[in-house]
Structures are given as C-alpha cells and as structure tokens.
Amino acid sequence: MNLKVSNLTKIYGGKIKALDDFNYNFTAGVYGLLGPNGAGKSTLMNIITDNLKATSGEVSYDGENTIKMGKNFRKILGYMPQQQGLYPNFTLIRFLYYMAALKGMKRSDATKDIERLLKLVNLTDCTKKRLGGFSGGMKQRALVAQAMLGNPSVIILDEPTAGLDPKERIRIRNLISEIAFDKIVIIATHVVSDIEFIAKEVLLLKEGVIIDNGSPQKLCQELDGMVFEITTTEEKLHEVTKFFKVGNISKDENNIFVRIVSETEPTGYTFTPVKPDIEDIYLNHFDDA
C-alpha cells in the first residue's frame, strides 16, 4: 500500500504557490499535517481527493495515477472535509445510506457497515434526527463515520475533532489509531495533541513545502535541551514573553510558570529543563506565523 505525491505544485491566480514541488511517500499508518493557515494542508488534501486540480505533479496509488484510476480510486478513498457541508433536511441514517450509494456500496453491505460505524462514533441514538439539528460535534462524528464507509484504504481527515468535547475527542482519536494499522490515514489538525500519540510521522508545512518531518519522538529529540519552564512573577512576565518563544503560561498562589523554547538556557531566571513535546516543535517552527 503506497500513496505517492510527486512534484506537486498548486498556484492560485498565477502568483500564489499553495504547494511548491511537494514530494512525499505515504504507507500504512497515521500521518499528521501541521502548519499555520495557508501552509498548504487543505490544498494537498483536496488534490489527493481530486476536488482540486494540481498545476503540476501527480498523485499515484501503488504506482498508478489516481486521476486515471477514477472511480476505482474513489472506492478505496474516505474523505472528511473541514467544512461541514451536510444536508440539513437529511436524517443521519439517510445521509449515510446516500454516501454509501455514492461509493457504489450494496445496500446490504452498507447496512452492516453503518451499524458498525454508528457505534464507533457514538451516534446510534441519533439515526432519525435531522442533520440540521445536530450540534457541531455531532456533525463532526457523522462526517467521520461517512469517511470510513466501505472500509477504505486511504482516509483523509481535515480537522476531525473540531468542536468535540474532550471525551469525544479521545474516542475519535482512539478510533483513528485502531483503524490505521492497515490503512493510510492523513490528518490535518490545529489540535496538536490529537496526533502526538497516534501519528507514525508528522509533516510540518509552511508556504507549501515540508520544513521538517519525522516521528513525534524524532522531532521532539531535536529540541532536547531547548525547552524550559521559567518561574517568575507577574511584574517580570512581560519581560519573559518579550524575549522568549512562549508555549504556555500557568500560575499558582505565589508564582507564574512560563514554558519556553530557547536555544540557550534562560540565565538570569529561575528555570527547570522540561521534556519537549509536539506543541514545542510547532512553536519553534511557527512562532512567527
């Protein structure tokens, strides 16, 4: 199983490069796409799913161009867009059967699959409710379910946990992890913790190019000895935030604690070295974005 992106470039308006000679080889597992707005994440996903035409380059699956594969590629593709483009007058069950029909699934197969997926996304009690009355989180779960119809080999998820409460976020995250053993799962998200523990690899995108990539462990190792927690006071807080890349600020009754990323130790302050995480990686690369 191999999804290869080769020399992919997308130019808007003859000037703006959303993707710039993008190359990557995806195999089975979860991949996290991280980057600020405009980095090219959604453009990449829309080209892979053939919702957008590339200016140049190609996408291939097991050596075959996905555009030439046509409906054969769409049969093995699951896609959850960021925009909740649902049919408000459809009930949930009608929506899922409709999406299954678009994928060419037999009704008997669709019935079994829909029952399984409704349990997985915790929507079994909502089948007869109209989508227009769903909360944002319920819509997200419905979109995750439709993306997994037909047991696709390639699943593209754009902000899958947006609007979910912590419990449901964990449920979806664990579900993604479970299904990814024999599938290619590509996730774009701004919720860094969603992919920190489940991603095989993380791709950091900026202005349409990969500026860093690797396993979460490898990326975090790059910041060994560069993440600190400064203990300071309210009077000195402005000074700390002015001179350092700040990832988090917390406080107790007596002190303020500031998590920073710095190439040198913050001498002149009371500090403790801490273990880097993916949020620190994001901050280090995109603090100015």
Structure confidence at residue 84 (pLDDT) = 65
Task: List all residues 6 or more positions away from 205 whose beta carbon is below 8 Å from its beta carbon.
Answer: 33, 34, 35, 39, 40, 41, 44, 211
What is the per-residue pLDDT across 81-116, written as a single tens digit (0 to 9) for each? 876 668 999 999 999 999 999 888 999 999 999 999
Report the C-alpha gap between 51 and 45 in whole angstroms: 9
Question: Could you tell me the sign of the dihedral formed by the alpha carbons of 59, 62, 66, 68, in that order?
Answer: positive
Task: List all residues 6 or more positions away from 123 whose beta carbon is below 8 Å from its beta carbon.
Answer: 92, 138, 141, 142, 145
Report the C-alpha gap between 103 and 77 in whole angstroms: 9
Report the C-alpha gap between 63 and 3 in whole angstroms: 8
Q: CA geometry: angle at 128 spanning 123 and 130, to 5°?
A: 90
Residues in the chain: 289
Structure confidence at residue 21 (pLDDT) = 96
Q: Beta-carbon neighbour count of residue 149 at 10 Å?
A: 22
pLDDT at 213 over 70: yes
pTM of the model: 0.91
Residue with tokens 């701004």: 190
Closest CA to 1 of 33, 25, 24, 36: 25
pLDDT at 171 over 80: yes
Report the C-alpha gap between 180 and 212 in whole angstroms: 23
What is the per-residue pLDDT across 231-276, written as a single tens digit (0 to 9) for each? 999 999 999 999 999 999 999 988 999 999 999 999 999 999 999 9
Report the C-alpha gap between 30 and 201 in whole angstroms: 7
Higher-confidence residue of 159 and 149: namely 149
